[in-house]
Amino acid sequence: MNKKSTILQINVTSAFGGGPEHMFSLIKGLSRDKYNIVAVCPNDGPYFKMLNELGVQVIDIPVRKLSLKVLFDIIGVVRKNKVDLIHAHGKGAGLYGRVAGALTGVPVIFTFHGIHYKAYGIFLRFSYLLIERILSFFTAWVINVSKGELKKGISLGIINRRKSSVIYNGIDMNRLEARKWGKAVSRTDFGFKDGDIITGSVARFNVQKGHEYLIQAFSKIAAERPGAKLLLVGDGELLNEMKKTVAKLGIEGRVVFTGYREDAIEIIRVMDIYALASLWEGMPISLLEAMGCGKPVVATDVIGNNEIVVDRDTGFLVPKGDAGMLAEKIINLIDNIELRNMMGEKGKEKVKMEFSAGDMISKTAAVYERVLS
């Protein structure tokens, strides 16, 4: 019998979000006959418990914190568990994982969940790109979650084309349709009426997600469509600022902020239209989940989004930062239930065919075997 390979998965958080969901789906689907899995992440969200429930050894280390102790703790995990391969997800995990790999001689695979640096100042931007260029020499393989991200990484000099590939994020449609995220919710839970048309979004309130443009767009929509409502799920540093913006625009009665919700997917089900106004992305899982739930989408034409959404077929793509165009396309969907239904069904079929968790897992396992051999 062949010896199992021990894979260390590292993430900066176990809170709800695209990166942790990606890692959870991957760990859940990897063959236990071939791999022993050890996970390192802070105990700051539900995925920590969910990973434990899979029977995986999960070690609580504050990966988001920058310190030598964190690095030494991860090196200790690598040595104690005789790790054969490290798979790091996202910037902080990528830093620790690749340094730990260099110091222990263990190969490292790094997944970019979006090359995010645009919100940094000039010095931080320069430092980030310099560090990534150095770390690329200690990376056995880079996985990109979109083709646009791979192209961007190559142009920035932080990805070696010969040691990289694209593996799209995938979602488990069986799990999605089995409604494993809690009890069903209804529109009345949020004060909406049966005749209201609900546009919604699930995203952390930070500059990347472009909430200000979605709220500006909805202000235009609210003035023209009395039955239109906006449902925003998530928390973050800009949440209070966005609430103030809604009040300033005089649309408080038309907008509902739910805050952080573990049953976000169940809330997506009550939406009629899903909107994502991001200024940049990697490959947003929330958009895949919305389409998997059969929702027509309006999203910005940025990396990741434009590889998921087929413009005017499964939804609409609009220029980033263009509140007027965002409003126009949402109104198109509000006014046409047949278009909503058609786009929703086409989007659901596209996710099933091109963004399955099974495909993501098998392609990632193939990268593991390539690096291990």
Domain residue ranges of the chain, discontinuous segments joined by +: 5-170+356-372, 175-354
Q: 5-170+356-372 and 175-354 share one CATH topology?
A: yes
How confident is the model at residue 213, as a pLDDT? 98
Which CATH superfamily, name and number, covers 5-170+356-372? Glycogen Phosphorylase B; (3.40.50.2000)
Both tokens of residue 327? 């409003």
pLDDT digits (tens, 9 = 90+) for 110-141: 999 888 777 788 888 899 999 999 999 999 99
Cα 314 from Cα 181, distance rounded (Å): 25
* Cα–Cα distances in angstroms (integers) from residue 368 to residues 16, 143, 190, 237, in the given order: 26, 11, 45, 37
Q: What is the CATH number of domain 175-354?
A: 3.40.50.2000
Q: Identify which has the larger pLDDT, 261 or 180.
A: 261
For the entire predicted model, the pTM comes to 0.92
Average pLDDT, the chain: 94
How confident is the model at residue 117, as a pLDDT? 79
pLDDT digits (tens, 9 = 90+) for 294-336: 999 999 999 999 999 999 999 999 999 999 999 999 999 999 9
Cα 164-169-174 angle, rounded to 5 deg: 145
Residue 207 in this model has a pLDDT that exceeds 80: yes
Cα–chain center distance at 177 = 19
pLDDT digits (tens, 9 = 90+) for 158-175: 999 999 999 999 999 988
- What phi and psi values does residue 231 have, to the nearest 5 degrees? -125, 115
How confident is the model at residue 3, as a pLDDT? 84
Binning pLDDT at 50, 70 and 90, where does residue 157 land? Answer: very high
Residue 16 in this model has a pLDDT that exceeds 90: no
Residue 38 in this model has a pLDDT that exceeds 90: yes
